[in-house]
């Protein structure tokens, strides 16, 4: 178990190491959710996530003998960077085992902080087993990503900061992987304000904590894929499960589409880049998984270490979903001026043309005709529908993508 006193000790220890991150209110998310939403921006923390808090608290509390052996951990990325940074600050050797699927940005950052990186397996659990093998053969000290009292206490300092900044918070919403973050926050928050509600958010494919609570015992879920790699944990820890059972009020899940939408919304509306795990908590609020109205809700944005290639895909998908990016196919006579006339119509409708493919050789196209495939940027779904209607009225046989 972890006590509030231990969290306060962690706070004093990490005070000059971890940033006290902003608790920012968002009118956009207030309006969407019908609540007063405050974002705890741990994506602006050192190493890009909250993990430095727990990692430093653990490593700084090692004995001189333990520090001499070096430290090893397994992580999907954020804990890896926290351990690497903390170990370097204490002049300790560190080895990090990361899944082979870890985004390049997180691997590069971890190496940049001074750790030796070993890539192994398809997920956290595979990396954990490999790290255990290395620990057994070398004698290095294992720094668990979540199931450790010092790590949990370090993460709990977030709860103290949130309630100091906004004393009348009614609910705190926290992303959940192995459970270290929500365990620490819930212990701290309920020690300060016993009536506060703490809600955890899991990715739908990695809902091990929710299922474990339902079954009354720890459950391991089958492997799934998620863009929220920071909370892609198949099994909660023994210690974290006990704390969650005692202190957390509810666990909800969000889909991949909801997470992606929240990432895009944070980027476009709040100008904040957040990773999938960090956006999961906001997704639960804006998609009404958290049933509340007119309440003060603290939302933990746990990290911002996202692969830029993934950001590009999310933006693209989001534009398509909102109708701001559409594909249109039509058939034209293969005569001079036909394509120009079509493009003039699009320009008059205030449509931005991203690409045009004019194909007269495609199978199924009659001689003397050509198929035109266009990707267009519109002002939204209504604009796209108006455009399609106009083209049909002008005699074009249009096939839209929406």
Cα–Cα distance, 288 to 310 (Å, whole number): 25
Element (H, E) at 283: helix 276-286
* DSSP-assigned beta bridge partners for residue 299: 39, 173
Distances (CA, A) of 308 to 264, 266, 275, 283, 304: 13, 15, 10, 20, 11
Distances (CA, A) of 137 to 14, 59, 122, 130: 31, 20, 22, 11
Cα–Cα distance, 25 to 30 (Å, whole number): 8
Cα–Cα distance, 241 to 178 (Å, whole number): 8
DSSP structure string for 208-235: HHHHHHHHTS--PPPP---S-GGG--SS
Catalytic residue among 46, 51, 190, 289: 51
For this structure, is 302 an active site residue?
yes
Residue 354: Cβ within 10 Å count = 12
Give the sheet arrangement for strand 399-400, strand by strand: 352-359, 369-377, 325-333, 399-400
For this structure, is 26 an active site residue?
no
Q: Any idea how long the chain is?
A: 402
Distances (CA, A) of 370 to 92, 332, 387, 388: 67, 5, 21, 19
DSSP structure string for 14-56: HTTTS----EEE-HHHHHHHTSEEEEEEGGGSGGGBTHHHHHH
Cβ distance 126 to 99 under 8 Å? yes
Cβ distance 124 to 144 under 8 Å? no
Backbone angles phi and psi of 90, in degrees to 5? -100, 5
Catalytic residue among 94, 212, 281, 302: 302
Backbone angles phi and psi of 28, in degrees to 5? -60, -50
Cα–Cα distance, 310 to 17 (Å, whole number): 30
Q: Is 249 helix (H, G, I), strand (E, B) or coil?
A: coil
The rounded radius of gyration (Å) of the Cα atoms in the chain is: 25
Query: Which residues carry out catalysis?
Result: 51, 302
């Amino acid at each position: 178990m972890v006590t509030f006193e231990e969290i306060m000790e962690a706070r004093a220890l990490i005070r000059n190491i971890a940033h006290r991150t902003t608790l920012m209110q968002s009118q956009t998310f207030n309006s969407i959710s019908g609540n007063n939403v405050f974002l705890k921006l741990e994506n602006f923390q050192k190493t890009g996530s909250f993990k430095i808090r727990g990692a430093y608290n653990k490593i700084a509390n090692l004995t001189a003998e333990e520090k001499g052996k070096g430290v090893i951990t397994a992580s999907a990325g954020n804990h890896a960077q926290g351990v690497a940074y903390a170990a370097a600050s204490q002049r300790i050797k560190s080895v990090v085992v990361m899944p082979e699927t870890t985004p390049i940005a997180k691997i590069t950052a971890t190496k940049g902080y001074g750790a030796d990186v070993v890539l192994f397996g398809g997920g956290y659990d595979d990396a954990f087993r490999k790290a255990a093998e290395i620990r057994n053969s070398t004698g290095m000290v294992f720094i668990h990503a979540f199931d450790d009292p010092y790590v949990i206490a370090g993460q709990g300092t977030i709860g103290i900061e949130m309630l100091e900044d906004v004393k009348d918070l009614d609910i705190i919403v926290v992303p959940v992987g192995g459970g270290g973050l929500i365990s620490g926050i819930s212990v701290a928050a309920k020690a300060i304000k016993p009536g506060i509600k703490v809600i955890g958010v899991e990715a739908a494919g990695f809902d091990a904590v929710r299922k474990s609570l339902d079954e009354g015992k720890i459950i391991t879920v089958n492997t799934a894929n998620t863009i929220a790699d920071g909370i892609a944990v198949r099994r909660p820890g023994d210690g974290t499960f006990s704390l969650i059972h005692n202190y957390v009020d509810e666990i909800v899940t969000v889909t991949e589409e909801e997470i992606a939408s929240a990432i895009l919304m944070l980027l476009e509306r709040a100008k904040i880049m957040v990773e999938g795990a960090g956006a999961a908590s906001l997704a639960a609020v804006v998609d009404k998984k958290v049933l509340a109205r007119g309440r003060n809700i603290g939302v933990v944005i746990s990290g911002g270490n996202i692969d830029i290639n993934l950001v590009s895909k999310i933006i693209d998908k989001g534009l398509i979903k909102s109708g701001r990016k559409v594909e249109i196919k039509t058939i034209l006579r293969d005569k001079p001026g036909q394509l120009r006339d079509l493009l003039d119509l699009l320009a008059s409708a205030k449509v931005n043309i991203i690409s045009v493919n004019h194909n007269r050789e495609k199978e199924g196209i009659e001689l003397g005709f050509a198929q035109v495939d266009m990707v267009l940027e519109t002002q939204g779904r209504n604009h796209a529908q108006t455009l399609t209607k106009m083209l049909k009225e002008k005699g074009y046989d249009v096939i839209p993508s929406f």
